[in-house]
Amino acid sequence: MTERPILEVRDLRKWFPLGSSLFSRHRQQVKAVDGISFSMRRGEILSLVGESGSGKTTVGRTVLRLTAPTSGSITFDGQDITRLSRRQLRPLRRRMQLVFQDPFASLNPRMTVERIVSTPLIIHDEPGGIAARRAKVEAALQLVGLLPHHATRYPHELSGGQRQRVGIARALILRPDFLVADEPVSALDVSIQAQVVNLLLELKDLLGLTILFVAHDLAVVGHISDRIAVMYLGRLVEVAETRVLFARPRHPYTEALLSAAPIPDPTVERQRIILAGDIPSPIDPPPGCAFSTRCRYATEACRAAVPPLREVAPGHLSACIRDDIALQAPRHGALTAPSKETCRCRLRSTGYRVTIACPRPSTSSSSAPASSASAPPTNW
Amino acid sequence: MSAAAPAAAPTAGLRVLERFRRHRLAMFGAVTIATLTLACFLGPFLLPFDDTYIDIMQRFAAPFGGAHILGTDELGRDMLARILMGGRVSLLVGFVAMAIGMAVGILVGAVAGYYGGLVGTALMRFVDAVLCFPAIFLLLALAALVEPGLTSITLLIAATAWMDVARIVEGQIRSLRERDFAVAAEVLGATDRYIILRELVPNAVAPIVVAATLNVARAILLESYVSFLGYGIQPPVPSWGNMLNNAQIYLTSAPWLAILPGIAITLAVTSFNFLGDGLRDALDPRMDGR
């Protein structure tokens, strides 16, 4: 591991001040992100997972320097970008891009697809005339599986999946190294989600992208990411390689998230861990471990001090002080990292991609679910 | 005409046109304005009489009675020529005042809406302060201080007409700048100017266009007020307002002196208002499929 990480985040904090009243001296702060550190190596997909309000989107946007962090540092490819001005950031914008959650809101409704996708070329004054620009747009559209005639359409004339493809084409036309995908499939139909996820995976391999994938859905994340970072109330609670995290979660929150993810096999008996209540307020977080208010393993010691994120196994970080508990892992292979048994094919006529997960030979086939229910975990 | 088959989806522009054409009053307004504008700018070349030519033998000639189609005024000047020349002045003042007011309003509104914070608050409170003055008194007070004339009256009217545009634009920009496509432009490294002018303002064009049309009507009316009160366009240059002013004393003996410019003002102002209404509906995509 001598290679320089493409992104290194150290102790990142982003607090938003609440509207202060004239009389109160102390402004309250929303601690959306409260001390996060991680680094990404080139070509990796790191997923940032957490429920609404955990601050994952804020991390994504702060890393791109759309907002200035309250404290901490962000190093992009060896360059400290924490305090760069917008003007200084401009050349870096070519190398780091964002794909949005809502593909409709992120496309200007007054512009045609061609105009939208060529916006980066215009902003960065790409050399070449209109013809060169048009050729690049066409290439970018082709890259994301859109047809040349889509260029003349307006966003409202496209389907959700097509819109997200336009968003991806815009993000990739300048060939960035680093992409933040902010819940890129959450707003899409389930049937379209797989297409867009697979598209991102293919483009990652093709263009050598590094992707920070923000999501709340472990099922999607397990399919694409190399590593997963679980966030709770502005802090990281667990970071591990996808397979390790799914096989052996070390934080109770991760365990609860895993148990909540759907498994497409009705015969599997399992215990769901239902978390009581809501995520606490980031204005006034509970003392000690933020998760202690909802954790079924919480003890007095948990409420005493904020547990640090520490290495519990090589490359596996967790912020739980209780090493004595045995956490459950999902017992079935539905929540898996991408396995070799996944075949992808592309329908020539439509340009759409289809992913079919084939059952492993060692487990019984899907036509005999009774035996697969009792099959031992054979995920890896 | 619901032949908007999804296969051959008409462009957004065509659909706007289609909705506009179904709005009868707006079509009436558009046609009237086109006719009025053409008549005012081309008509005087075709008429036998100049608007300042004094036909002393034909004073107070009634309309439809002789060589002067719409009659003459107290000095024997041709009414039709004066209406058309007055229309030039009124329409010109209306359009130019609108254009200036729009430019200032969009600039102030966009800057206030985009930057917000202290700058935005200061600008918008200033707008509110100016808005507190009743326009007509502000106009009269200012008109009393400066030399009346075409340029000064246009600027004065523009000075009272930019605030509502500023408020409309400020609200639009403030909500648009939070939208993801504005953020997308920012991630791409766009400058503020690019984001405001190329991404945001085009999305606020519908309310701006509507406000612009209504503002022309308002400017024409204001010019008439002020000229009627004698502070605006000065004789012998005719304007619809100062023609009305002249007509006051002859109201019983020669009513056409008041009625004709009155009709012209009414026609122009209502037409612009109808046009504004029609554009408002036409530019709203939710009005589709009625």
Q: What is the pLDDT of residues A275-326, one digit of tens each?
A: 777 778 888 888 888 888 888 888 888 888 888 888 888 889 999 888 777 7
Per the structure block, which two tokens stand in for A290? Answer: 């933020």
Checking phi first, is residue A73 left (phi over 0); if not, alpha (psi -120 to 50) or beta?
beta
pLDDT at residue A352, as a whole number: 52
Residue numbers of chain B with a pLDDT score lower than 70: 1-12, 285-290
Which chain A residues have a beta carbon less than 8 Å from that of B188?
93, 97, 119-120, 123-124, 170
What sections of chain B are H helices per DSSP?
A: 12-21, 24-46, 79-115, 117-132, 135-145, 150-161, 163-176, 180-187, 192-194, 205-228, 240-247, 256-282
- Residue B273, helix vs strand vs coil: helix
Which chain B residue has its CA at the smallest distance from A168's CA? B184
Least confident of A46-50, A270-274, A368-372, B176-180: A368-372
Contact B242, B153 (CB under 8 A): no
Q: Is A109 on the interface with B (CB under 8 A)?
A: yes
Chain B within 8 Å of A124 (Cβ-Cβ)? yes
Task: Identify the pLDDT of residue A63.
Answer: 92
More confident residue, A220 or B260: B260
DSSP code, position B12: H
Considering only the beta carbons, identify the residue of B9, B185, B202 that sits closest to A110.
B202
Nearest neighbour of B187 by CB, restricted to A98, A101, A102? A98
pLDDT at A146 over 80: yes
Q: How many angstroms separate the CA of residue A219 from the nearest CA in chain B?
A: 26
A35 touches A13 (CB < 8 A): yes
Q: Per this entry, what is the length of chain A? A: 380
Binned at pLDDT 50, 70 and 90, residue A26 comes out as low
- Per CB-CB distance under 8 Å, the chain B contacts of A64 are 187
Q: Which residue has 């815009």 as its token pair?
A: A170
* pLDDT of res. A266: 67
**Residues B39 and B84 sit within 8 Å (Cβ to Cβ):** yes
Smallest CA-to-CA distance from A8 within A51, A56, A46, A52 is with A46
Res. A73: pLDDT tops 90: yes
Whole-number Å distance between alpha carbons of B172 and B110: 9
pLDDT at B7: 39
Structure confidence at residue A19 (pLDDT):
67
Classify residue A325 as exposed, middle or buried by CB count within 10 Å of its CB (0-12, 13-18, 19+).
exposed
What is the distance of C-alpha A129 from the center of its chain? 36
What pLDDT band is residue A167 in, cutting at 50, 70 and 90?
very high
User: The pTM is what?
Assistant: 0.77
Contact between A116 and A140 (Cβ < 8 Å)? no
Q: How far is CA B269 from CA A5, A337, B98, B161, B226, in A?
A: 67, 69, 13, 15, 16
Digit-coded pLDDT (tens) for B138-149: 788 877 888 878
Choose among B189, B202, B203: nearest Cβ to A123: B189
Q: What value does the mean pLDDT take over residues A363-367?
A: 40
Average pLDDT, chain A: 81
Long-range contacts of B247-252 (CB under 8 A, 24+ apart): B247/B73, B250/B60, B250/B74
CATH architecture of B12-51+61-287: Orthogonal Bundle (1.10)
* Of B7 and A6, the one with more pLDDT: A6
Q: pLDDT at position B51, please?
A: 77
Report pLDDT for A367.
40
B12 touches chain A (CB under 8 A): yes
